[in-house]
Structure 1
Amino acid sequence: MNYTQICKPFHDLSVTELYQLLKLRSEVFVVEQNCVFLDADDKDYACHHLLLFDDEQELVAYARVVPAGKSYAEASIGRIVSSRKVRGTGVGKILTQAAIDAAKELYGDVPIRIGAQYYAVKFYEQLGFKMEGEIYDEDGIDHIEMIRA
Protein backbone atom coordinates (compact mmCIF):
# COMPACT_ATOMS: atom_id res chain seq x y z
CA MET A 1 0.00 0.00 0.00
CA ASN A 2 1.17 3.52 -0.74
CA TYR A 3 0.89 6.25 1.84
CA THR A 4 0.70 10.00 1.42
CA GLN A 5 2.87 11.71 3.99
CA ILE A 6 2.30 15.23 5.28
CA CYS A 7 4.44 16.95 7.90
CA LYS A 8 3.55 20.45 9.00
CA PRO A 9 3.60 22.75 12.01
CA PHE A 10 0.48 23.02 14.16
CA HIS A 11 -0.65 26.38 12.78
CA ASP A 12 -0.64 24.97 9.21
CA LEU A 13 -2.92 22.01 10.01
CA SER A 14 -6.40 22.23 8.53
CA VAL A 15 -9.33 21.85 10.89
CA THR A 16 -10.01 18.46 9.28
CA GLU A 17 -6.41 17.26 9.74
CA LEU A 18 -6.45 18.38 13.37
CA TYR A 19 -9.73 16.57 13.98
CA GLN A 20 -8.43 13.39 12.30
CA LEU A 21 -5.21 13.28 14.31
CA LEU A 22 -6.95 13.96 17.61
CA LYS A 23 -9.54 11.30 16.78
CA LEU A 24 -6.85 8.69 15.99
CA ARG A 25 -4.91 9.52 19.15
CA SER A 26 -8.08 9.20 21.24
CA GLU A 27 -9.15 5.94 19.58
CA VAL A 28 -5.85 4.28 20.42
CA PHE A 29 -4.46 5.95 23.54
CA VAL A 30 -7.71 6.56 25.41
CA VAL A 31 -10.18 3.92 24.18
CA GLU A 32 -8.03 0.93 23.09
CA GLN A 33 -5.40 1.33 25.82
CA ASN A 34 -8.01 2.38 28.38
CA CYS A 35 -5.98 5.36 29.60
CA VAL A 36 -7.64 8.36 31.11
CA PHE A 37 -5.23 11.22 30.44
CA LEU A 38 -5.25 14.70 28.99
CA ASP A 39 -3.99 14.21 25.44
CA ALA A 40 -4.12 17.95 24.70
CA ASP A 41 -0.98 18.77 26.68
CA ASP A 42 -0.14 22.19 25.17
CA LYS A 43 2.91 20.73 23.39
CA ASP A 44 1.14 20.36 20.04
CA TYR A 45 1.49 24.09 19.31
CA ALA A 46 5.30 23.85 19.20
CA CYS A 47 5.46 20.59 17.23
CA HIS A 48 5.39 19.42 13.66
CA HIS A 49 2.74 16.82 12.93
CA LEU A 50 3.41 13.85 10.66
CA LEU A 51 0.31 12.33 9.10
CA LEU A 52 0.16 9.22 6.91
CA PHE A 53 -2.91 8.79 4.75
CA ASP A 54 -3.89 5.65 2.86
CA ASP A 55 -5.12 5.50 -0.74
CA GLU A 56 -8.62 6.47 0.42
CA GLN A 57 -7.26 9.58 2.16
CA GLU A 58 -7.97 8.12 5.60
CA LEU A 59 -5.47 9.00 8.32
CA VAL A 60 -3.91 5.66 9.29
CA ALA A 61 -0.79 6.71 11.23
CA TYR A 62 0.51 9.76 13.04
CA ALA A 63 3.46 11.06 15.07
CA ARG A 64 4.43 14.42 16.43
CA VAL A 65 7.95 15.73 16.05
CA VAL A 66 8.90 17.68 19.16
CA PRO A 67 11.65 20.31 19.40
CA ALA A 68 14.33 20.07 22.07
CA GLY A 69 13.26 21.49 25.40
CA LYS A 70 9.54 20.66 25.07
CA SER A 71 9.40 17.06 26.29
CA TYR A 72 13.09 16.35 26.85
CA ALA A 73 16.37 18.23 26.56
CA GLU A 74 16.75 16.53 23.17
CA ALA A 75 14.42 16.60 20.18
CA SER A 76 11.84 13.86 20.42
CA ILE A 77 9.11 11.97 18.64
CA GLY A 78 5.86 11.28 20.42
CA ARG A 79 2.27 10.18 20.10
CA ILE A 80 3.41 7.50 17.63
CA VAL A 81 0.21 5.75 16.64
CA SER A 82 -1.31 3.64 13.88
CA SER A 83 -4.91 2.68 13.33
CA ARG A 84 -6.03 -0.87 13.91
CA LYS A 85 -6.81 -1.05 10.18
CA VAL A 86 -3.10 -1.06 9.21
CA ARG A 87 -1.35 -2.71 12.14
CA GLY A 88 0.93 -5.55 11.13
CA THR A 89 1.53 -4.13 7.66
CA GLY A 90 4.82 -2.34 8.41
CA VAL A 91 3.25 1.10 8.62
CA GLY A 92 4.69 1.61 12.11
CA LYS A 93 8.21 1.29 10.76
CA ILE A 94 7.40 3.58 7.80
CA LEU A 95 5.90 6.16 10.17
CA THR A 96 8.70 6.06 12.71
CA GLN A 97 11.45 6.28 10.07
CA ALA A 98 9.59 9.22 8.47
CA ALA A 99 9.42 10.90 11.89
CA ILE A 100 13.17 10.36 12.41
CA ASP A 101 13.82 11.82 8.96
CA ALA A 102 11.54 14.80 9.71
CA ALA A 103 13.34 15.47 12.99
CA LYS A 104 16.68 15.43 11.17
CA GLU A 105 15.37 17.78 8.50
CA LEU A 106 13.92 20.17 11.08
CA TYR A 107 16.61 20.08 13.77
CA GLY A 108 19.72 18.65 12.12
CA ASP A 109 21.58 15.48 13.02
CA VAL A 110 20.77 15.63 16.73
CA PRO A 111 19.94 12.92 19.27
CA ILE A 112 16.26 11.96 19.46
CA ARG A 113 14.72 10.80 22.74
CA ILE A 114 11.43 8.95 23.08
CA GLY A 115 9.32 7.63 25.93
CA ALA A 116 8.57 4.18 24.53
CA GLN A 117 5.97 1.76 25.73
CA TYR A 118 8.13 -1.03 27.11
CA TYR A 119 6.54 -3.79 25.01
CA ALA A 120 7.78 -1.95 21.87
CA VAL A 121 11.47 -1.76 22.84
CA LYS A 122 12.59 -4.30 20.21
CA PHE A 123 10.72 -2.37 17.52
CA TYR A 124 12.51 0.88 18.40
CA GLU A 125 15.87 -0.86 18.73
CA GLN A 126 15.55 -1.90 15.07
CA LEU A 127 15.38 1.81 14.25
CA GLY A 128 18.52 2.69 16.19
CA PHE A 129 17.12 3.59 19.60
CA LYS A 130 18.79 2.36 22.80
CA MET A 131 17.19 2.01 26.22
CA GLU A 132 18.23 4.53 28.82
CA GLY A 133 17.16 4.65 32.45
CA GLU A 134 14.60 2.64 34.34
CA ILE A 135 11.15 1.40 33.44
CA TYR A 136 8.46 3.79 34.67
CA ASP A 137 4.67 3.74 34.80
CA GLU A 138 2.77 6.22 32.68
CA ASP A 139 -1.00 5.96 32.76
CA GLY A 140 -0.83 2.31 33.86
CA ILE A 141 1.54 1.26 31.04
CA ASP A 142 5.24 0.45 31.46
CA HIS A 143 7.47 2.89 29.56
CA ILE A 144 11.19 3.43 29.17
CA GLU A 145 13.16 6.30 27.72
CA MET A 146 15.16 5.50 24.61
CA ILE A 147 17.71 7.59 22.74
CA ARG A 148 18.85 7.57 19.14
CA ALA A 149 22.24 9.28 18.94
Structure 2
Amino acid sequence: MDWTLKGFDALSLHELYDLLVLRSRVFVVEQTCPFLDLDGLDKQGEVLHLLGWQEGKLVAYARLLAPDLVKPGFAVIGRVVTAPEARGGGLGHRLMERADAECARLWPQAPVYLGAQAHLQDFYARHGFRPEGDAYLEDEILHIGMVRP
Protein backbone atom coordinates (compact mmCIF):
# COMPACT_ATOMS: atom_id res chain seq x y z
CA MET A 1 0.00 0.00 0.00
CA ASP A 2 1.34 3.40 -0.97
CA TRP A 3 0.07 6.46 0.91
CA THR A 4 0.27 10.07 -0.20
CA LEU A 5 -0.83 13.21 1.62
CA LYS A 6 -1.31 16.33 -0.47
CA GLY A 7 -2.91 19.71 -0.48
CA PHE A 8 -5.32 20.53 -3.30
CA ASP A 9 -2.78 22.40 -5.42
CA ALA A 10 -0.33 19.49 -5.22
CA LEU A 11 -2.85 16.94 -6.53
CA SER A 12 -2.42 15.97 -10.16
CA LEU A 13 -5.51 16.09 -12.35
CA HIS A 14 -5.50 12.28 -12.38
CA GLU A 15 -5.34 12.08 -8.57
CA LEU A 16 -8.15 14.61 -8.24
CA TYR A 17 -10.26 12.71 -10.76
CA ASP A 18 -9.62 9.38 -9.01
CA LEU A 19 -10.52 10.70 -5.55
CA LEU A 20 -13.72 12.32 -6.84
CA VAL A 21 -14.70 9.11 -8.64
CA LEU A 22 -14.11 7.02 -5.49
CA ARG A 23 -16.11 9.39 -3.31
CA SER A 24 -18.93 9.50 -5.85
CA ARG A 25 -18.97 5.70 -6.33
CA VAL A 26 -19.47 5.15 -2.62
CA PHE A 27 -21.23 8.19 -1.18
CA VAL A 28 -23.59 8.87 -4.09
CA VAL A 29 -24.04 5.64 -6.08
CA GLU A 30 -23.50 2.82 -3.54
CA GLN A 31 -25.33 4.63 -0.75
CA THR A 32 -27.99 5.94 -3.16
CA CYS A 33 -27.62 9.40 -1.67
CA PRO A 34 -27.63 12.29 -4.11
CA PHE A 35 -25.75 15.12 -2.44
CA LEU A 36 -23.28 17.79 -3.42
CA ASP A 37 -19.94 16.19 -2.55
CA LEU A 38 -18.02 19.21 -3.85
CA ASP A 39 -18.60 21.43 -0.83
CA GLY A 40 -15.81 23.95 -1.39
CA LEU A 41 -13.58 22.55 1.35
CA ASP A 42 -11.36 20.36 -0.83
CA LYS A 43 -9.45 23.33 -2.19
CA GLN A 44 -8.93 25.14 1.12
CA GLY A 45 -5.29 25.62 2.05
CA GLU A 46 -5.83 24.00 5.46
CA VAL A 47 -7.17 20.76 3.95
CA LEU A 48 -5.08 17.71 3.09
CA HIS A 49 -6.05 14.69 1.04
CA LEU A 50 -4.87 11.27 2.23
CA LEU A 51 -4.80 8.81 -0.64
CA GLY A 52 -4.15 5.07 -0.41
CA TRP A 53 -2.95 3.39 -3.60
CA GLN A 54 -2.75 -0.31 -4.34
CA GLU A 55 -1.24 -1.45 -7.63
CA GLY A 56 -1.74 2.02 -9.06
CA LYS A 57 -5.42 2.20 -8.13
CA LEU A 58 -6.91 4.52 -5.51
CA VAL A 59 -8.59 2.27 -2.93
CA ALA A 60 -8.69 4.46 0.21
CA TYR A 61 -9.19 8.14 0.90
CA ALA A 62 -9.78 10.57 3.76
CA ARG A 63 -9.89 14.34 3.97
CA LEU A 64 -8.04 16.01 6.86
CA LEU A 65 -9.11 19.50 7.90
CA ALA A 66 -6.97 21.73 10.10
CA PRO A 67 -8.18 22.78 13.55
CA ASP A 68 -10.82 25.50 13.58
CA LEU A 69 -11.51 25.27 9.85
CA VAL A 70 -14.97 23.75 10.30
CA LYS A 71 -15.21 22.94 14.03
CA PRO A 72 -13.73 25.29 16.62
CA GLY A 73 -10.89 23.65 18.53
CA PHE A 74 -10.91 20.43 16.51
CA ALA A 75 -9.09 18.94 13.55
CA VAL A 76 -11.58 17.00 11.42
CA ILE A 77 -11.32 13.73 9.53
CA GLY A 78 -13.93 13.47 6.80
CA ARG A 79 -14.91 11.73 3.57
CA VAL A 80 -13.46 8.45 4.89
CA VAL A 81 -13.94 5.92 2.11
CA THR A 82 -12.61 2.63 0.78
CA ALA A 83 -13.26 1.10 -2.62
CA PRO A 84 -15.88 -1.67 -2.45
CA GLU A 85 -13.57 -4.19 -4.13
CA ALA A 86 -10.85 -3.56 -1.53
CA ARG A 87 -12.96 -4.11 1.59
CA GLY A 88 -12.80 -6.99 4.02
CA GLY A 89 -9.07 -7.07 4.66
CA GLY A 90 -8.70 -4.30 7.22
CA LEU A 91 -8.07 -1.46 4.77
CA GLY A 92 -10.54 0.82 6.54
CA HIS A 93 -8.67 0.35 9.81
CA ARG A 94 -5.32 1.03 8.13
CA LEU A 95 -6.81 4.18 6.60
CA MET A 96 -8.01 5.41 9.99
CA GLU A 97 -4.68 4.58 11.63
CA ARG A 98 -2.91 6.60 8.95
CA ALA A 99 -5.39 9.51 9.19
CA ASP A 100 -5.06 9.56 12.99
CA ALA A 101 -1.27 9.50 12.77
CA GLU A 102 -1.21 12.37 10.26
CA CYS A 103 -3.54 14.47 12.42
CA ALA A 104 -1.35 13.82 15.48
CA ARG A 105 1.78 14.75 13.50
CA LEU A 106 0.30 17.88 11.92
CA TRP A 107 -1.80 19.18 14.81
CA PRO A 108 -0.48 17.49 17.98
CA GLN A 109 -2.46 19.66 20.41
CA ALA A 110 -5.83 19.34 18.66
CA PRO A 111 -8.48 16.76 19.46
CA VAL A 112 -10.06 15.19 16.37
CA TYR A 113 -13.72 15.22 15.33
CA LEU A 114 -15.58 13.25 12.70
CA GLY A 115 -19.20 13.00 11.65
CA ALA A 116 -19.71 9.25 11.50
CA GLN A 117 -22.52 7.42 9.82
CA ALA A 118 -24.30 6.02 12.86
CA HIS A 119 -23.96 2.38 11.77
CA LEU A 120 -20.16 2.82 11.77
CA GLN A 121 -19.95 4.06 15.35
CA ASP A 122 -18.32 0.83 16.60
CA PHE A 123 -15.75 0.98 13.79
CA TYR A 124 -14.63 4.47 14.85
CA ALA A 125 -14.78 3.56 18.54
CA ARG A 126 -12.03 1.00 17.83
CA HIS A 127 -9.85 4.00 16.93
CA GLY A 128 -10.51 5.87 20.17
CA PHE A 129 -13.47 7.98 19.07
CA ARG A 130 -16.43 8.44 21.39
CA PRO A 131 -19.89 9.80 20.58
CA GLU A 132 -20.56 13.47 21.18
CA GLY A 133 -24.11 14.77 21.20
CA ASP A 134 -27.20 13.36 19.59
CA ALA A 135 -27.54 11.58 16.29
CA TYR A 136 -28.54 13.79 13.37
CA LEU A 137 -29.62 13.42 9.77
CA GLU A 138 -27.16 14.52 7.11
CA ASP A 139 -28.18 13.96 3.51
CA GLU A 140 -30.91 11.60 4.77
CA ILE A 141 -28.35 9.33 6.49
CA LEU A 142 -28.20 9.08 10.29
CA HIS A 143 -24.88 10.41 11.62
CA ILE A 144 -23.33 10.99 15.01
CA GLY A 145 -20.49 13.31 15.96
CA MET A 146 -17.49 11.52 17.43
CA VAL A 147 -14.36 12.90 19.09
CA ARG A 148 -10.94 11.56 19.94
CA PRO A 149 -9.08 13.57 22.57
Please classify the TM superposition score into its range, dividing by the shorter chain length.
over 0.9
2:33 maps to which residue? Answer: 35
Query: Do the aligned residues in 2 keep the contact of 1:43 with 1:70 (CA within 8 Å)?
Result: no
- AA partner of residue 62 (structure 1): Y
Query: Do the aligned residues in 1 keep the contact of 2:67 with 2:110 (CA within 8 Å)?
Result: no
1:60-82 deviations in Å (ceiling 9; x for gaps): 01001011222212101000000
Q: Which runs of structure 2 are paired with 1:1-149 in the superposition (5 Å)?
A: 3-46=1-44, 47-54=47-54, 56-73=55-72, 74-149=74-149
Name the SS of the counterpart of 2:40 in structure 1. Answer: coil
Name the SS of the counterpart of 2:43 in structure 1. Answer: helix
- AA partner of residue 13 (structure 1): L
Write the distance in 1 (CA, Å) between the matches of 2:132 and 2:125: 12
Query: Do the aligned residues in 1 keep the contact of 2:62 with 2:81 (CA within 8 Å)?
Result: yes
User: Any unmatched runs of 5+ in structure 2?
Assistant: none
Write the distance in 1 (CA, Å) between the matches of 2:143 and 2:68: 20
Write the distance in 1 (CA, Å) between the matches of 2:80 and 2:68: 19
Write the distance in 2 (CA, Å) between the matches of 1:71 and 1:30: 22
Moved more, 37-46 or 114-123: 37-46
- AA partner of residue 120 (structure 2): A
Write the distance in 1 (CA, Å) between the matches of 2:25 and 2:134: 28
Write the distance in 2 (CA, Å) between the matches of 1:71 and 1:116: 15
Percent identity among equivalent residues? 44
How many residue pairs are counted as aligned between the two chains? 146
Query: Do the aligned residues in 1 keep the contact of 2:131 with 2:147 (CA within 8 Å)?
Result: yes
Residue 83 of structure 1, CA deviation: 0.4
- AA partner of residue 119 (structure 1): H
TM-score, reference length from structure 2: 0.95
TM-score, reference length from structure 1: 0.95
Q: CA RMSD in A?
A: 0.8
- AA partner of residue 27 (structure 2): F
Name the SS of the counterpart of 2:29 in structure 1. Answer: helix
Write the distance in 1 (CA, Å) between the matches of 2:75 and 2:113: 6
